[in-house]
Amino acid sequence: MIFFNRRKKQVSGWKLNPADLAERPEDLRNPCRGWYQIHTFEADREPDFGELEWCLDRKDALALVFLDIGAYRDRDLDQTALGRIRRILDFFRHNGYDMILRVAYDHQGKAVEREPYFWDQVKTHMCQVGELLQEYGKAIFVYQGLLTGNWGEMHTTRFQTEKKRKELWNILKEYIPGGTYAAVRRPVYWRQLHEEQGGKESVAADMGLFDDAMFASEDHLGTFGALTRENGWEEAWQREEELAFEEELCRDVPNGGEAVLGEVFQERMTPRMVEEVLRRMHVTYLNKVYDSGILDLWKQWRYTEGETWNGKSLYDYIGAHLGYRLVIREVCIRAGRGRDAGRLEVTVENTGFASLYQEAEFLLESGAEGIVTEQWMMGAAGKYPGAVWYSGETRVYACDIPFRERQLWISARRKADGSCIRFANGCDKNGKTKIGELSGSQ
């Protein structure tokens, strides 16, 4: 609802004629969220970048770059390999993707055959990866795994011990830059690497999770355990307690991965249950190619809640709500400090499954479409818990503007680099949403 505050009508005859701000049932290409595809490369083979260009889906804002360094199991990454890796990362950066990066010795489920024999070699590779993260940190949203295990998932490896995981994490955290999140495969790994937290999972905001077996079984194929929380911080807990842990932890750090169709667990799935789990896990990104079985099922199921999405496919609803989704809920203009200006306030809700983890800026513009005459930076009208904008949280942004007949547009952008963040209320080709027109006289 959009309204004009008439408490000081005697001071000003100006009013705001609202634009149509109904939410649109569509996905949005916004930074660091949404569907992704995996692009796999081997460190000893030069990619065909021309062919790769054809494989890109320009609707995606994220790409998972999987680097297989198994050919270097017995030696350091040389300048040839490092140069090749830089060309790969440059390719995705120049094509406007935020990257999910995974570096591992195996992409075929054969880690034991392809990992180094010597632990010192693994640690050296971790240092080399860390240096790349420092170089490309602004373009890398999440760094997944700690090199080892089948598909880099940290299981089925000769380096399975908690001690070795801690050694790799201690190396990595010295390199990983601000704005880039580490991620581990299971919640229990996170707890083991943050034992100093003493059960306070919301304190450390340096590492999230990735789950490549969502819905495959009751325990997401070993992602969860069988014990209860009472058995200790560093044990794998049963499903409900792990989901509660993720619900709290991933308010502050990203979570994502792959959904898998499990024949037995499929009988328990309903659209409501799927949405509830994805929202509790605060899922920000999902593979759009694998597993086609469950993705096709979601395309067949209808979403039946609310006016905007009722009748749309569950797949479309999920895609639109991965990560954050900003919806303008209310616009009002109040009397300002003098007769010649008013205070414009815009109320915005994050309706996505997850938080907006990166700080955003809001800009109010005056003028016709494509022609800007004045601009104002909007400030937060209230105290909010830091830069992270939680799922379900509503914020108010405001600024003072002179009374004048004008069209008003609002836009948002990522503070770090100015990347456009689009509202779900519809926007023009530049990502700007018209909120109304001021009219009247003094």
Distance from the Cα of residue 20 to its chain's centroid: 28
Residue 1 reports pLDDT greater than 90: no
The 10s digit of each residue's pLDDT in 252-301 is 999 999 999 998 888 889 999 999 999 999 999 999 999 999 999 999 99
Q: Which residue has the higher pLDDT, 65 or 383?
A: 65
pLDDT tens-place string over residues 76-88 = 999 999 999 999 9
Asked if pLDDT for residue 6 goes beyond 60, the answer is no
Residues 139 and 92 sit within 8 Å (Cβ to Cβ): yes
Q: Does residue 181 have a pLDDT over 50?
A: yes
Range scoring the smallest mean pLDDT among 41-50, 68-77, 180-189, 262-271: 262-271
pLDDT at 7 over 50: no
- Which whole number is the average pLDDT over 172-187? 95
Q: What is the pLDDT of residue 367?
A: 78
Domains of the chain listed by start with CATH number: 2-25+324-439 (2.60.40.10), 34-321 (3.20.20)
58 — pLDDT class (breaks 50, 70, 90): very high
Query: Would you state the pLDDT for residue 28?
Result: 97
Q: Summarize the confidence of residues 318-339 as an average pLDDT.
A: 91
Checking if the pLDDT of 2 tops 60, the result is: no
Determine the pLDDT at residue 160. 86
The CA-based angle 188-72-45, given to 5 degrees, is 110
Q: Report pLDDT for 183.
A: 98
Average pLDDT over residues 248-255: 96
Give residue 378's pLDDT. Answer: 94
pLDDT on residue 383: 84
Q: What is the mean pLDDT of the chain?
A: 92
Structure confidence at residue 5 (pLDDT): 40
Tokens of 132: 């790349």
CB 11 within 8 A of CB 413: no
The amino acid at 46: E
Mean per-residue pLDDT, 8-28: 80
What pLDDT, on the 0 to 100 scale, is given for residue 82? 98
Q: Report how far residue 144's alpha carbon sits from residue 293's, in angstroms, rounded to the nearest whole number.
A: 25
Q: Of 2-11, 52-61, 353-362, which range is least confident?
A: 2-11
Distance CA 62, CA 207 (A): 18
Q: What is the pLDDT of residues 403-424, one digit of tens each?
A: 888 899 999 999 999 999 999 9
pLDDT reading at 432 higher than 70? yes
More confident residue, 184 or 369: 184
Asked whether residue 402 carries a pLDDT value surpassing 80, the answer given is: yes
pLDDT in tens, 108-150: 989 899 999 999 999 999 999 999 999 999 999 999 999 999 9
The reported pLDDT for the residue numbered 339 is 76
The pLDDT value recorded for residue 373 is: 81
Is the separation of the CB atoms in 11 and 425 below 8 Å? no
More confidently predicted of 332 and 201 = 332
Contacts 24+ apart (CB under 8 A), 275-280: 275/314, 275/317, 275/318, 277/214, 277/215, 277/243, 278/214, 278/318, 278/321, 278/322, 278/353, 279/321, 279/353, 279/391, 280/243, 280/244, 280/246, 280/247
Give me the pLDDT at residue 369, please.
Answer: 61
**C-beta atoms surrounding 322 within 10 Å:** 23
